[in-house]
Amino acid sequence: MFPVLRLSLLFVLLPASATIRIGLCECDSPPLLEFAPQSTEPVGGLIKDIGDLIAGQMNEEKAYVVLSRKRIDPALQKGEVDLVCYLNPAWTSVAPQLHWTDDVVPQTEVVVVDRNRAEKVRNMEDLKGMRLGLIHGFHYPQLVPLIVVGKIKPVYENDHLSNYKLLEQKLVDGVVSSDLQVAYHQRNTAPGTQAQGVSALVLSAMPTFCAVPKASPIKVERVMQAVQQLKAQGAFDKLINRYRQNEHTPSKTERP
């Protein structure tokens, strides 16, 4: 079984540079990241699979460091993790302190609302007066102007699944989520009980990258080379297409 480390134990359990420490956020939900039941042990998901591909291409061991969203930036800044993927320079306050790979996979953010309201939400003006389910620590530059003047009421949760529950209970009017997470949620909702719909409003469509802290001891050139090789092989495209087509199954541990 691969090690899953909390930062307080990291340097006790793992010698420096002995493995690639892959940072994962406990705030992410399927299909981006899947945890074992009642655990922070990652067992699958797009973000984990991206890190696994890179470590495999480098022929290096790996360990997962599971963090809250507010701990991601400090961990990157201090070099307490070696690699964080599914990230964009606009989403972190420490972007200048990181090496950035080529783009890996895209992310599209959409707005999920009550099914009867979905066709009416087509632009930012249509969000006025709504309570929107958002994630603590995430960046929403398109929404900030409306939030600042009180035209949108943000309701923050720690993860997307909690926001979907708020929407089901009508405690929010909409939820901002990635298209992959929305599709996963809809596929796993019992037929005939789906009360939500995806609006026509695309809040953002951005590339995501992997980041290597400048404070990390790993050789960044090897990470860059691994990402370039995987892109040339079409590995990332094949990976995200499997998730879009719902063909992926959670990763299995490769050794006891």
pLDDT tens for each residue of 178-219:
999 998 888 887 665 567 899 999 999 999 999 999 999 999
Cα 47 from Cα 243, distance rounded (Å): 11
3-class DSSP assignment, residue 152: coil
Find residue 62's DSSP bridge partners. 20
Find residue 10's DSSP bridge partners. none
**Which residues, 6 or more positions from 38, have their beta carbon under 8 angstroms from its beta carbon?**
none
- Domain contains 114: yes
Cα 92 from Cα 89, distance rounded (Å): 6
Residues 43 and 79 reside in one and the same domain: yes
pLDDT above 80: residue 13? no
pLDDT above 80: residue 12? no
Residues 9 and 25 reside in one and the same domain: yes
Supply the range of the domain harboring residue 157.
108-205
Residues 101 and 112 reside in one and the same domain: no
Residue where the block lists tokens 């909690």: 162
pLDDT above 70: residue 175? yes
- Domain contains 159: yes
- Domain contains 76: yes
Residue 115 sits in a domain whose CATH number is 3.40.190.10
- Are 198 and 118 spatial neighbours (Cβ–Cβ below 8 Å)? yes
pLDDT above 80: residue 252? no
- Domain contains 223: yes
Average pLDDT, the chain: 88
- Domain contains 252: no
3-class DSSP assignment, residue 33: coil
38 pLDDT band (50/70/90 cuts)?
confident
- Domain contains 172: yes
Cα 185 from Cα 230, distance rounded (Å): 29
Q: How many independent structural domains does the chain possess? A: 2
* φ, ψ of residue 34 in degrees (nearest 5): -120, 130
Which of 12-21, 30-39, 66-75, 177-186 has the lowest average pLDDT? Answer: 12-21
Cα 169 from Cα 158, distance rounded (Å): 17
Rounded mean pLDDT of 216-242?
97
- Are 58 and 222 spatial neighbours (Cβ–Cβ below 8 Å)? yes
Residues 92 and 212 reside in one and the same domain: yes
For residue 198, the surrounding DSSP H or E stretch is strand 196-213
- Domain contains 255: no
Predicted confidence at residue 251, as pLDDT, reads: 42
**Which residues, 6 or more positions from 236, have their beta carbon under 8 angstroms from its beta carbon?**
50, 53, 104, 105, 230
Residues 92 and 213 reside in one and the same domain: yes
What's the pTM? 0.85
Rounded mean pLDDT of 70-85?
96
3-class DSSP assignment, residue 200: strand
Rounded mean pLDDT of 140-154?
95
Predicted confidence at residue 139, as pLDDT, reads: 87
pLDDT above 70: residue 5? no
Predicted confidence at residue 100, as pLDDT, reads: 98
Residues 58 and 131 reside in one and the same domain: no
pLDDT above 80: residue 10? no
- Domain contains 251: no
Residues 99 and 216 reside in one and the same domain: yes
114 or 6: whose pLDDT is higher? 114
Edge-to-edge strands of the sheet including 4-5? Answer: 4-5, 62-67, 20-25
Residues 188 and 217 reside in one and the same domain: no
Residues 68 and 133 reside in one and the same domain: no
Where would I find the H helices in 40-135? 46-58, 69-78
